[in-house]
Amino acid sequence: MKTYTLTNKSGASVVLSDIGAAIVAINVPDRDGKLADVVIGYPKPESYFGDGPCSGKCPGRYANRIALGKFTLDGVEYTLPVNNGPNHLHGGPEGFQNKVWESRQEGNAVEFMYFSADGEAGYPGNLKVVARYEWDDDNRLQLTFTAQTDKATVINLTNHAYFNLDGEGSGTVLNHMLRLNASEFLPTSESLIPLGESVPVAGTPMDFVNPKPIGRDIKEDFEPLRIAKGYDHCFVLDGWMEGQLGEAAELWSEKSGRCVKIYTTQPGIQIYTGNYLEGCPEGMDGHVYHDYDAVALECQHFPDSPNKPDYPSTVLRPGETYEQAIIWQFGIK
């Protein structure tokens, strides 16, 4: 495993890895100036291959789920490996998150490149993907994805970091405060495939328009929460415009004072409360991660978009450039 550490003038740092173009650690200060790593990760490189949580990595060619591992594009049906109940998840068992990417550092930035051959995991087209991370002196981490293909394909990229703003391994995040710029979400089937149209969050446990503790309503008698054993849902970002950066979410801990604001060009954000972290590889400093010990906030296009023509398109064609950005702005609240 090749790692890169980017440190800014205040001493805050980010550690990146060529396995899955991953975020391995983010060390930022609390209200007293004490640095701690706020994302979960593993000390052993081999733990990053095939881990259930997909910790800190960039899954692909299609992040999230595609129903029954099938989609049709330009009249041709494509079949993908099924690895999540009846569905295809995160590009399948050999997805981008389990590949070693080419990498290079340029000052305060690291670029990772992966070439996905035509037919890999059943997807059409030779696809070249670049994930570029930049870390600045204001504790802002920016991730920009770009990709080109030589044949029409589908693509949906995100980063799958899990946050605990009290420091990884410090216990539950159900007391963290979360605010989402999302007044609608996508209800799903029992296998977590969106049913179709988005519905309002108002009056439901899915409402984070006004900030609340993540765990306040997580045990409510509400079908979507029962299906997922917590939150594992795509929220539709308000005011999304293609190519425009918008605010997606804000997460903070009243205990440590740390906060992170998230901005993205993507139309949705998948909130996953680490409902199945139990049994994942051993974490940093010997920490054992339990369910709900960290939360993933994955900016992305909607699950199963290739089979949902009404959703924003995830089709990439020759001559086009896929470009999406995610920004994490760390601070004190």
For the chain, 333 residues long, give each residue's pLDDT as a single digit of tens: 999 999 999 999 999 999 999 999 999 999 999 999 999 999 999 999 999 999 999 999 999 999 999 999 999 999 999 999 999 999 999 999 999 999 999 999 999 999 999 999 999 999 999 999 999 999 999 999 999 999 999 999 999 999 999 999 999 999 999 999 999 999 999 999 999 999 999 999 999 999 999 999 999 999 999 999 999 999 999 999 999 999 999 999 999 999 999 999 999 999 999 999 999 999 999 999 999 999 999 999 999 999 999 999 999 999 999 999 999 999 999
Q: 104: which strand partners?
A: 111
Q: What is the rounded CA–CA span in Å between residue 199 and residue 127?
A: 34
Residue-level pLDDT at 13: 98
Q: Which of 120, 134, 298, 301 is catalytic?
A: 298
Q: In angstroms, rounded to a whole number, what is the distance separating the alpha carbons of residues 239 and 114?
A: 32
Domain containing residue 115: CATH number: 2.70.98.10
Q: Are 143 and 36 in contact (CB under 8 A)?
A: no
Are 73 and 315 in contact by the 8 Å Cβ rule? The answer is yes
Closest by CA to 64, choosing from 188, 175, 207, is 188
Cα–Cα distance measured from residue 274 to residue 214, given in angstroms and rounded to the nearest whole number: 12
Query: Is the entire prediction scored with pTM above 0.95?
Result: yes
Report the C-alpha gap between 102 and 162 in whole angstroms. Answer: 24
**Can you give the C-alpha Rg of the chain in angstroms?**
18
Burial 90-116 (b: 16+ CB within 10 A, else e): bbbeebbbbbbbebeeeeebbbbbbeb
| Cα(240)–Cα(265) distance, integer angstroms | 8
Active site residue 190: no
Is 160 considered catalytic here?
yes
Q: Are 161 and 304 in contact (CB under 8 A)?
A: no
Per-residue confidence (pLDDT) for residue 204, from 0 to 100: 98
- Residue among 88, 90, 160, 233 flagged as catalytic: 160
Q: Cα angle vertex 282, ends 278, 287, to 5°?
A: 90
Number of domains in the chain: 1
Residues of the domain holding 200: 3-332
